[in-house]
Structure 1
Amino acid sequence: MGLGKRMKRILVVVAGAVLLVVGVLLLVLPGPGLLLVLAGLLLLASEFPALERYVDPVRDRAMKAAEDSVSSPLRIAGSVLAGLALLAAGIVWATVKSLPFSGWSTGSSLILSSVILFALLGWSYHRVKSRRKSGTKAAASD
C-alpha cells in the first residue's frame, strides 16, 4: 500500500471516529447526534466493511428523527427556538468572561451547533416537503 493510500485511510478513519464520538455525545447533548453517528459510520464502513450492517438501521432512525423534527408547526417552532437559544448562548459565552468555560472556543462551538441545527432543520423540511409532493403526484396518477 502506497503512502498516499495509507494517509487517506488514516484520515478517513480519524474523521469517521471523530464524527462517531461527537455524534454519540450529541445523542445526550443538544445537536444532530444521529446524523453525525451516521456520517461517522459511513466513513468508517468505507474502510471497514463489517460496519456496513450498522449503517441502514442508523440511517433509518436518523431520517425518521429528521422527519419528526418538522412534522408539525409546533416542533418547527421549538427547533427554531432551540437554535436561537444556542446562538444566543454562544454569543454570551464568547463575550461574558465571568461564566465558566467562557471564551470563543465554547461560544463558537455553541454557535456552530445552532448553524448545524438550522441547516438540518431546513434540509429536513425540504426533504419532507418534496416527499409529500411526490406522494401527492403518485396518488393523483393512480
Structure 2
Amino acid sequence: MVQSPRQRRPHGSVFAGRTRPRGARRIIGLVVGWLLVLIGLAALVLPGPGLLALVAGLAVLAQQYEWARRWLQPVKQRAFAAAAQGVRTRSAIALSFTGALVLVLLGLLWGVNPPVPGWWPLDGRWWLPGGWSVGTSLILSGLLAAAFIVYSIRRFRPQMDA
C-alpha cells in the first residue's frame, strides 16, 4: 500500500503539515507541554483555568504526538463551550468576576499573613501556611481567570445591537 506524504514519517519528516521539531526545541516543547497538561489536570479540581491549560498543553504536545492531536479537538471544544456558557448572562459574568476577585483577595490575605484569630480551632501553624508563595499563586490564578473572562466576553458573548 502506498502512503501519502502526510502519512510517511521518516526522520525529519512532515508531521501534520509541519516539520517535527528536533533537539533542544523538542525537549523544551515536551517539558512545557507536559507541564501545562499537569497544571491543567490539577486546576480541574483546584482554583484556576483547568480546561484552558489542558488545551494549551495538548496544543504543544500535538506538535510531537499524533495522540495529542486527536485529544486536542474534543478538549478544545469542551473548553470553548464552558467559556461560552460562563458569559451567557450578566449574572454569570458578575459571579465569575466575583470569584476572580475573591481569589486575588485571598492571595493578598495569605501573603500578608495576619495573626491567628481567636476563633481558629486548629494549632497556629495551620493558619494560612505557605505565605507569599501560596498568596502569589492565588493572585495569579485570579488575574488569569479575569483575563480569560474578558477574552470569553469578547469572543463568545453576542454583541448587543447598537
Q: Smaller-chain TM-score range?
A: 0.7 to 0.9
Which is higher, the Rg of structure 1 or of structure 2? 2
Q: Secondary structure at the match of 1:71?
A: coil
1:58 paired with 2:68, answer no
Percent identity (aligned): 36
From 19, 24, 27, the equivalent of 2:41 is: 24
**2:113 and 2:128 in contact (8 A); partners too:** no
Secondary structure at the counterpart of residue 101 of structure 1? coil
TM superposition shift of 1:93? 0.5
Q: Work out which of the residue numbers 128, 131, 147 in structure 2 matches 1:103.
A: 131
1:10 aligns to 2:27 (yes or no): yes
1:73 alignment counterpart: 90
TM superposition shift of 1:49:
2.1
Say whether 1:35 aligns with 2:52.
yes
> How far does the alpha carbon of each residue in 1:75-134 deviate from its partner, in whole angstroms, 9 at most, with x for none?
1111011011000000000111653323111010000001100000000000023xx35x
CA–CA distance in structure 2, aligned partners of residues 5 and 54 of structure 1: 23
Gaps of 5+ in 2: 1-10, 12-20, 117-126
Taking the aligned partners of 1:78 and 1:60, their CA distance within structure 2 comes to 23
Gaps in structure 1 of 5+ consecutive residues: 137-142
- How many residues are matched? 130
Q: Deviations over 1:56-93 (max 9, x none)?
A: 10010000011111011111111011011000000000
TM-score by length of 1: 0.85
Q: Is the 8 A contact 1:16 1:39 kept in 2?
A: yes
RMSD of aligned alpha carbons: 1.8
Q: Which has the higher helix share?
A: 1
**1:107 & 1:50 partners in 2: Cα distance?**
36
Q: Partner residue of 2:103?
A: 86
Find the aligned partners of 1:128 and 1:39 in 2 and give their Cα distance. Answer: 19
Could you tell me the TM-score, scaled by structure 2's length? 0.75
